[in-house]
């Protein structure tokens, strides 16, 4: 898995050992969002799949 910072690397350990996280992916497929009449690209740091089919998009700061 490729990450962009030491904080993202540490976050992987939290995901790996969290009982709430089933799986996670670094820099998942991005998407576009609208802002001020423009379509802007966005790629989150992580996509985590949790129990009960919950997906979370996360950024590490």
The reply to whether 1 falls in a domain is no
Structural domain containing residue 19: 6-58
pLDDT of residue 28: 93
The reply to whether 36 falls in a domain is yes
29-45: pLDDT as tens digits? 999 999 999 999 999 99
CA-nearest of 27, 36, 21, 22 to 8 is: 27
Structural domain count of the chain: 1
pTM value?
0.78
pLDDT of residue 61: 83
5-61: pLDDT as tens digits? 999 999 999 999 999 999 999 999 999 999 999 999 999 999 999 987 788 888 888
Residue 42: phi and psi, rounded to 5, are -150, 130
The reply to whether 43 falls in a domain is yes
């Amino acid at each position: 898995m490729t990450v962009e910072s030491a904080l993202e690397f540490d976050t992987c350990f939290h995901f790996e050992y969290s009982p709430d996280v089933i799986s996670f992916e670094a820099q998942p497929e991005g998407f576009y969002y609208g802002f001020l009449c423009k379509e802007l690209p966005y790629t989150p740091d992580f996509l985590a799949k949790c129990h009960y089919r919950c997906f979370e998009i996360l950024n590490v700061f």
